[in-house]
Structure 1
């Protein structure tokens, strides 16, 4: 096979591997990316990119040793961009794990013991007491229309007059 054909085949494997990583199918991604890595030179820009994605797939499948080893190689890569990414990934992979308080995390229930028959599961079982709705508030007594004061206090006319004076003053100054 010619070098151009190898490079084109490597690009196809690389794109497929990327797609698998983006979908979360890391084992398939590793297969595709390893095939692309065998067809490219480790020192080429494409070879570096392939191996960076391979680090991500290794880490996602808990193969930290392989991921760290590959990152160490990439941190010496001739391409500045690949070398920089390799060093960043290596820093992340070698970082000590953070301690977390239990109250900061949500516990995900184990659903593997659920049956296919919903009647056998106790999803609907509610051990908490039902909340009682609060007592309704008494309504305000109705207001008689004769007791409401409807006399106009001229406020709107005073406000319009003041606004008009301000506008005239601004136009006169300008």
Structure 2
């Protein structure tokens, strides 16, 4: 391997790592650009190139480019590396699966904070999402009357003494072993 090829391989690995990091942080456009550049440097038929393209396929889908993701996945189904082929087939099946319909009460809306500017008068507050319920007040229970000690059955206390003696003898026997 020449130094030029090893430099290209190192650059491809660096772009692969940068693309993975961008993808994991939700920066899908940045991930797509890093992974595309890394894929070109690594070469599509190599194991590293296949792994980069798998991540690129996921980044395409996350960046709302599903047709490109499916096309790349179908291309990867013919990749020389068996593991890349198998994973791409699984991901393509998932990408082609029909979307399930969700009921509106199952989904919690998340406000878009990208248009929010510093010092903007339209601040997000909890009051925009309905009032919060008041916390219930603690209910105090009336004090219980004191126990009448003459009503307590003390005949069963003999068993407690026998159990206590048995425990002491057992611990004493273990101590002398």
Q: Specify whether residues 160 and 100 from structure 1 end up closer, same or farther in structure 2 by C-alpha distance, changes over 3 A only.
A: same
Gaps of 5+ in 2: 171-177
Gaps of 5+ in 1: 168-174
Q: Which residue of 1 aligns with 2:159?
A: 155
Displacement after TM superposition at 1:70 (Å): 0.4
Whether the aligned pair in 2 keeps the contact of 1:115 and 1:121 (CA below 8 Å) is no
How many pairs does the alignment contain?
161
Give the whole-Å Cα distance in 1 for the aligned partners of 2:57 and 2:65.
Answer: 9
Q: Specify whether residues 82 and 114 from structure 1 end up closer, same or farther in structure 2 by C-alpha distance, changes over 3 A only.
A: same
Q: Which residue of 1 aligns with 2:173?
A: none
The TM-score with structure 2 as length reference comes to 0.72
Q: 5 Å matches for 1:1-174?
A: 2-109=4-111, 116=119, 123=126, 127=131, 130=134, 133=137, 135-142=139-146, 147-149=148-150, 153-157=157-161, 159=163
Structure with bigger gyration radius: 1
Displacement after TM superposition at 1:4 (Å): 2.7
Residue-by-residue CA offset, 1:29-84 (whole Å, 9 max, x unaligned): 11111111121221111111111111111111101011111000011111000000
Give the whole-Å Cα distance in 2 for the aligned partners of 1:78 and 1:40.
Answer: 14
